[in-house]
Structure 1
Amino acid sequence: MTHAGVVPACEANRLNGIISPNTSRLRENHRRIGREQEVPRLKKDYVHSLKKQNSPRLRKDRGRVALFVDEGNLFHAALSLGVQVNYARFLNYIMEGSQFSGAFLYTAVKSDEHRQQLQSRVDLEGYQIVGRKIIRYQDGSVKANLDVEIASDLIIKAFENSYDTAVLVSGDGDFTYAVKLVKQRGRKVEVISLSSMTSRRLIAMSDHYTDLSKIKHWICN
């Protein structure tokens, strides 16, 4: 052993009170994914035929592996599947048979104390918590955006030669360009996310794609 947006306050129920990501943004992502699926050259069946969904543990050419978890995206994907991710099992699953180069969990935090609580959690051992404090508005909604941090770390660590393979846990199509730049540096990028919540362009740009629903039994409680 990596979203701007507004969320209803009633959705504050993950990772010991971390606020869930922007609901309106997720709806827009779904609309964008729908539009992408209309593009003939990126039809779902075609893209999936390019990306064999083998378990990462079956491949041995990954070199140094770094894990980047978009916690908000993963939370909603797990919610859709009706499961709860066990982060320790997830990390072990991803890194099995590979050289560990880092694991980064990008999430909203309520306070410095909350960040320390996350860092002390046994199931998050091995992860570096990358958080941004949430902004609360008078209408009860909150805002937290970590896309910039995720994309920046993917690119910077590739240029620093910190990893050979990046595992990006997110379906957000906004990361497509960052993945393209990382691959231009000779790095491989694997994407893990729920198919129905994943940009087809992101899948096409990746070297390997895994539908979260296919591995839920190995990474969930």
Structure 2
Amino acid sequence: MLFHPDERMALFIDGANLYSAARSLGFDIDYKRLLDLFAGKGRLIRAFYYTALLEDQEYSPIRPLVDWLDYNGYTLVTKPAKEFTDSAGRRKVKGNMDIELAVDMMEMVDRVDHVVLFSGDGDFRSLIEAVQRKGVRASVVSSIRTQPPMIADELRRQADQFIELDQLAAQIERVHSDRGPRRERPGAPPSAPVEADDDLDEDYVDDEYEDDEPPAVVRRTPPPRR
């Protein structure tokens, strides 16, 4: 990875897309380790995390993760997800956050030197191109090692730097005490097909973070609410 220690940097994480990529590669993400990794590569100004939530549920399984991120260095951007049943009778949850991510990135572009997008969605190609025209470097974190690849070819070509998520696994993997790191587990799951990332997967759930976990290096300074 090519980063300059004096450049101002912002992370933009498409939560559902990143979760799908990591799951298909066979590991869970430790978001504290992820934040620490990139905070050590430059002047991390902000780390945005985007996700849609089912507000009508009494308990959302992703809520513990969202709350932990909100207290530990991330700027959370959420909106209500829409639940529907498709023609095959399958329950689907739709929660596209592309517009929110694009607006925030363009608002930040004059305050940073480098943006890092965690998504493989080809719809972001034009956004990355617009950021580059402002003189800002743009890196994309996703995977070509899933089947099919999570990253769209046009987005990978547009980025100044493509970072393979699988190569970051050893540095950002969440190690479960009962099973150890992925690479030490026999018969680690192979890459699996991933559906389009417009729909939130019903299994888009992260294990609950404990309240006494140490805070991340960068503390959140909330921007003014719009």
Scaled by the length of structure 2, what TM-score is found? 0.66
**What is aligned with 1:68?**
12
- SS of corresponding position for 2:23: helix
**What is aligned with 1:164?**
113
Residue 122 (structure 2) pairs with residue 178 (structure 1): no
Task: Provide the rounded CA distance (Å) in 2 between the counterparts of 1:156 and 1:75.
Answer: 25
What letter matches 1:198 in structure 2?
Answer: I
Aligned partner of 1:187 among 131, 136, 139: 136
What letter matches 1:162 in structure 2?
Answer: R
Q: Deviations over 1:10-32 (max 9, x none)?
A: xxxxxxxxxxxxxxxxxxxxxxx
Task: Provide the rounded CA distance (Å) in 2 between the counterparts of 1:122 and 1:146.
Answer: 17
Task: Provide the rounded CA distance (Å) in 1 between the counterparts of 2:69 and 2:154.
Answer: 36
**What is aligned with 2:102?**
151
What letter matches 1:69 in structure 2?
Answer: I
Residue 100 (structure 2) pairs with residue 100 (structure 1): no
Q: Deviations over 1:127-152 (max 9, x none)?
A: 01111111123664322110111122
Following superposition of structure 1 onto structure 2, how do residues 1-221 of structure 1 map, counting pairs within 5 Å? 55-56=1-2, 59-60=3-4, 63-111=7-55, 117-118=64-65, 120-121=67-68, 125-137=72-84, 140-158=91-109, 161-195=110-144, 196-221=149-174
- SS of corresponding position for 1:145: coil
CA contact (8 A) 1:173 1:201 kept: yes
What letter matches 1:88 in structure 2?
Answer: K
RMSD (CA atoms): 2.3
Task: Provide the rounded CA distance (Å) in 2 between the counterparts of 1:122 and 1:107.
Answer: 12
Q: Percent identity?
A: 31
CA contact (8 A) 1:70 1:106 kept: yes
**Gap runs ≥5 in structure 1:** 1-54
Distance 1:133 1:91, change over 3 A: same
CA contact (8 A) 2:142 2:164 kept: yes
CA contact (8 A) 2:120 2:155 kept: yes
What letter matches 2:11 in structure 1?
Answer: L
**Gap runs ≥5 in structure 2:** 175-226
CA contact (8 A) 2:50 2:101 kept: yes
> Matched residue pairs, number?
163
CA contact (8 A) 2:70 2:76 kept: no
Distance 1:62 1:191, change over 3 A: farther
Task: Provide the rounded CA distance (Å) in 1 between the counterparts of 2:165 and 2:71.
Answer: 19
CA contact (8 A) 2:69 2:76 kept: no
Larger fraction in helix: 1
Higher alpha-carbon deviation: 94-103 or 106-115: 106-115
Q: How far 1:123 moved relative to its partner?
A: 8.7
What letter matches 2:40 in structure 1?
Answer: E
